[in-house]
């Protein structure tokens, strides 16, 4: 999950008004709005994005099951996946704001284009979505979008990606690379397979492929590192650990963004 907070999405006029407000209040790292989605809102979002016809082109997409052969790349079954979550993100501009992530977050999977769209809902003020498609024995990510809101100002970043697809079953040390472009900016990703290990999900033990992905930065102090564990042979994410530390110039000076997340899938079977 790439997170760059460019100018905190605050225009000059908005920045000045916020500076005035914080000059009076003077409190450090206030909590930003943390509006959790209800289970019904998440379910309705899932239903609204399902294809209108059961005979659509998506019927031929390989879907993951607990017995999927490792040699066949497959995508998660459509539905709502729940994850035990510990996490927060923050910016230090204007005395700072942060989001506290709820104890359970969801990834909603719906058929889309050449594969599926997966949307991670944290809060109404923080979400991300990515497209995934089968590419031979691997899984490609053609695009992704991130959304964050601080000081009541929203920032949406949309990326188009190309390069190596992620292997779904490969020996430790296997590497892959891809680039994601937003406007005139390009982020280069490096991935490596750490290895395969058993993981218990809802009392069921499955084999997990541990993959580590990092973004190359010109600024040495900037770090974006994501460890993900996928069910072997599939794009079903079993667990994730995210460490993001980035800095960007803005109208109020350098802005530092920080995110820490740990997620663990609660059940292999999604809710519908």
pLDDT of residue 5: 46
d(CA 5, CA 220): 17
State mean pLDDT over 10-38: 44
The confidence band for 149, taking pLDDT boundaries of 50, 70 and 90, is: confident
Residue 118 lies in a domain: yes
pLDDT of residue 105: 95
Domain for residue 270, yes or no? no
- Residues forming beta bridges with residue 263, ordered by sequence position: 85, 240
What is the rounded distance in angstroms from the CA atom of residue 51 to the CA atom of residue 112?
8
Query: Which has the minimum average pLDDT: 47-51, 71-75, 199-203, 261-265?
Result: 47-51
Domain membership of residue 24 (yes or no) is yes
Helices marked H in 26-157: 39-48
Determine, yes or no, domain membership for 163.
yes
d(C-alpha 223, C-alpha 244), whole Å: 6
Q: For 50-106, write each residue's pLDDT tens digit.
A: 665 443 444 445 555 444 444 568 999 999 999 999 999 888 877 788 889 999 999
Tell me, yes or no, whether 271 lies in a domain. no
Query: How much is the pLDDT for 218?
Result: 66
- Give the pLDDT band (50/70/90) at residue 154: confident
- The whole-chain average pLDDT of the chain stands at 81
User: Does residue 252 have a pLDDT over 90?
Assistant: no
Does residue 36 form part of some domain?
yes
Q: How far is CA 118 from CA 74, 111, 190, 217, 248, in A?
A: 14, 9, 21, 26, 28
CB 144 within 8 A of CB 117: no
Question: Does a structural domain hold residue 132?
Answer: yes
pLDDT of residue 115 exceeding 80, the answer is yes
Residue 110 bridge partners (DSSP): 117
SS3 19: helix
Residue 272 located in a structural domain: no
Our count of domains for the chain comes to 1
Asked if residue 34 has pLDDT above 70, the reply is yes
Q: Output the six-digit token pair for 17.
A: 């008004």
Range of the domain at 28: 7-50+58-265
What is d(CA 204, CA 181) in angstroms, rounded to the nearest whole number? 38
């Amino acid at each position: 999950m790439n997170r760059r907070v460019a100018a905190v999405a605050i225009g000059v006029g908005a920045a000045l008004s916020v500076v005035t407000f914080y000059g009076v209040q003077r409190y450090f790292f206030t909590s930003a709005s943390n509006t959790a989605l209800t289970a019904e809102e998440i379910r309705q979002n899932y239903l609204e994005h399902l294809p209108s016809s059961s005979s659509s082109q998506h019927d031929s997409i390989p879907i993951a099951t607990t017995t999927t052969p490792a040699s066949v790349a497959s995508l998660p079954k459509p539905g709502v996946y729940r994850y035990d979550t510990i996490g927060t993100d923050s910016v230090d501009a204007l005395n700072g704001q942060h989001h506290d992530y709820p104890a359970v977050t969801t990834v909603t999977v719906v058929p889309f284009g050449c594969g599926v769209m997966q949307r991670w809902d944290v809060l109404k003020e923080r979400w991300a979505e990515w497209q995934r498609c089968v590419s031979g024995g691997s899984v490609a990510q053609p695009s992704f979008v991130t959304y964050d809101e601080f000081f009541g100002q929203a920032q949406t970043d949309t990326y188009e990606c190309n390069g190596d697809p992620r292997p779904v079953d490969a020996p430790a040390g296997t590497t892959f690379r891809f680039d994601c472009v937003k406007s005139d900016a390009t982020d280069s990703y490096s991935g490596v397979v750490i290895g395969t290990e058993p993981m218990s999900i809802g009392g069921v033990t499955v084999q997990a492929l541990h993959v580590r992905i990092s973004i190359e930065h010109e600024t040495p102090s900037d770090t974006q590192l994501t460890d993900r564990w996928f069910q072997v042979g599939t794009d079903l994410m079993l667990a994730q650990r995210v460490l993001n530390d980035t800095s960007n110039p803005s109208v109020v000076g350098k802005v530092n963004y920080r995110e820490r997340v740990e997620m663990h899938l609660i059940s292999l079977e999604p809710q519908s």
